[in-house]
Amino acid sequence: MQAKQHIQLNTTQSIQPLLAKFGIETADIMVESLVLDSREVAIHSAFIALKGHVRDGRDFIPQAVSLGAKVIIAECDTQQEHGQTSMREQSLIISFYDLSAQLSALAATFYHFPASEMQIIGVTGTNGKTSTVQLTSQLAALLNKRAASIGTLGSGVISCTGECASFGETINTTPDAITMHKLMAQFAQDNVKQVALEVSSHALVQKRVAALKVDVAVLTNLTRDHLDYHGTMQAYAQAKREILTQPELKFAVLNGNEIESKQWLAQLPNTVTPVVYGIDDESLLLSDAQKVCLAKELEYSSQGCRFTLVSSWGECEIQLSLLGRFNIFNALAAIASQLCLGQALTDIADVAQQLVPVAGRMERFSDEKSPTVVVDYAHTPDALKQALLALRQHSEGRLFVIFGCGGDRDKGKRSLMGEAAETCADVVMITNDNSRSEDPNAIASDILAGCIQPEKIQVELDRKCAIDKAVADATPKDIILVAGKGHEDYQIIGSETVAYNEREYVKQMFERNIT
């Protein structure tokens, strides 16, 4: 991520016309901002007091008053109270019914509907949201469209190489309704033409994006998650489907290999065009009525993959430098979204090979005369197994894995990771991964306990030495997965946090051409 950009917005305005749109008559008072947290109140802000999940924002009205808020817009419990006003010291308190649900519309109005001139793609699903959003924005940038993204990695303008010129970190994957429209206003002022954003199920339930104009809704997949919040899988699935009610939605880009897409098709408003994407060798939910974006004749190599894209916009060859079947799905969703928004298929085919993954997630480093090295964040037994299974498809030679397990953390996973590595890779090297207060040799022994033939497993506790050794032993046809660190730039040994950037180390190794 690059340095943060500061775009000042001139938002000073009277609350009179703003609240008139919601049926409330008030005095003509100028405010500069809408503020959700009483601790951030300044004299020219309007404090928005909402009933929350944990606390009641109305309990903080006295604090907002003491900080000099000119206006306080407070959620009320009955329709009858809507629009009632009272004064507390210098603060005008205005009751607003159903404020939580209406906040997105209030913020959109306050910021003058900044999303209206931009193309907006909302990506939801259990896994793959971050990568799909990144690939979508990167693809737009490669097609010379100024693009931005909002999600787990923060928010900002995305370059052709996936770098993000940050507009700031966000607390949530999907920001609150006010932050969302403020970001949109900053993007619009910065001449951004397209925004891809992650839309979480929490955000949909809490109506954080209720009034946001979304042109394309993407579903990646649906598996069990967040049941603490939603209660049941049905409620979780239905929360995701709420994105279909976004105002002005035009396209729903659906994973054809995902059974949940069927429910989306059943609930699709007739103004929304379904587009099914997927890999053609699995069952797809296709009918003549839908637009499609399908990968056929898929071939994997250590450099990525190639396939014939058969789509309702035409047919062409696509080369991707991305690894893993899941990344093909993510890229297909990004391509389908761009096709929906009018990009030419031939232009997409010309630039698709330049797409790069999110930093430290199946990130590939290679040259012609060296083995391919892949840096990935996988640090659980299942993630390690999935990463190795994905890479096996790309490997023309042997598959190496270098990994470790954290100290002072779940000891149960150590033997399971040993088992996964031994089962799925040809050459296994155990190394150090945040040993903390534990002896790294003892952690390695715990990992080895899960292996059937521990004598065949190498232990090299210095991560850089382990990578050097694997690169020296491997041939250009081999793939080396270095798992656990991903984008992190430190290693915790004892009580010390030592600088260690695995991506940089591997990148420089290739730049030095020492292999």
Ligand X SMILES: CC(=O)N[C@H]1[C@@H](OP(=O)(O)OP(=O)(O)OC[C@H]2O[C@@H](n3ccc(=O)[nH]c3=O)[C@H](O)[C@@H]2O)O[C@H](CO)[C@@H](O)[C@@H]1O[C@H](C)C(=O)N[C@@H](C)C(=O)N[C@H](CCC(=O)O)C(=O)O
Is 131 assigned to a binding site? yes
DSSP 56: B
**Token pair for residue 236?**
């979780």
Q: Which is nearer to ligand X, 48 or 340 (CB)?
A: 48
Q: Which is nearer to ligand X, 237 or 316 (CB)?
A: 237
What is the length of the chain? 515
CB 371 within 8 A of CB 377: no
CB 419 within 8 A of CB 450: yes
Distance between CA atoms of 511 and 500, rounded to whole angstroms? 18
What does the H/E/C string look like for 451-463? CCCHHHCEECCCH
Is 173 assigned to a binding site? yes
Q: Which is nearer to ligand X, 75 or 419 (CB)?
A: 75
**Distance (Å) of CA 118 to CA 143, 168, 192, 306, 474:** 16, 20, 7, 32, 48
Is 43 strand, coil or helix?
coil
CB of 36 to ligand X, least distance (A): 4
Distance between CA atoms of 492 and 199, rounded to whole angstroms? 33
Is 130 assigned to a binding site? yes
Q: Which is nearer to ligand X, 96 or 403 (CB)?
A: 96
Is 124 assigned to a binding site? no
- b/e burial code for range 21-49 (CB count within 10 A of at least 16 → b): ebebebeebebbbbbbebeebeebbbbbb
Strands 45-49 and 71-76: parallel
Distance between CA atoms of 219 and 241, rounded to whole angstroms? 9
CB of 50 to ligand X, least distance (A): 4
Q: Which is nearer to ligand X, 236 or 505 (CB)?
A: 236
Q: Which is nearer to ligand X, 103 or 142 (CB)?
A: 103
**Token pair for residue 171?**
């607390």
Is 129 strand, coil or helix?
helix
Position with the least CB separation from ligand X:
52
Neighbour count for residue 353 (Cβ, 10 Å): 15
Q: Which is nearer to ligand X, 200 or 432 (CB)?
A: 200
Of 103, 288, 115, nearest in space to 216 by CA: 115
**Distance (Å) of CA 117 to CA 15, 138, 149, 188, 433:** 24, 20, 16, 8, 47
Is 174 assigned to a binding site? yes
CB of 99 to ligand X, least distance (A): 10
Is 213 assigned to a binding site? no
CB of 130 to ligand X, least distance (A): 9
Is 501 assigned to a binding site? no
Of 309, 323, 319, 306, nearest in space to 358 by CA: 323
Is 302 assigned to a binding site? no
Is 141 strand, coil or helix?
helix
Number of helices (H), then strands (E), in the chain: 16, 26
Q: Which is nearer to ligand X, 73 or 443 (CB)?
A: 73
Is 206 assigned to a binding site? yes
CB of 44 to ligand X, least distance (A): 17
Phi and psi at residue 331, to the nearest 5°: -65, -40
CB of 176 to ligand X, least distance (A): 3
CB of 122 to ligand X, least distance (A): 12
Helix (H) or strand (E) holding 490: strand 490-493
CB of 103 to ligand X, least distance (A): 9
**Token pair for residue 482?**
């270095």
Q: Which is nearer to ligand X, 179 or 435 (CB)?
A: 179
DSSP 4: P
Contact residues for ligand X (CB under 6 A)?
Answer: 36-39, 50, 52-55, 57, 60, 171-174, 176, 200, 202-203, 206, 208
Is 191 strand, coil or helix?
coil
CB of 64 to ligand X, least distance (A): 7
CB of 429 to ligand X, least distance (A): 32
Q: Which is nearer to ligand X, 164 or 391 (CB)?
A: 164
Give the annotated binding-site residues: 36, 38, 125-131, 172-174, 200, 206, 208
Give the annotated binding-site residues for ATP: 125-131
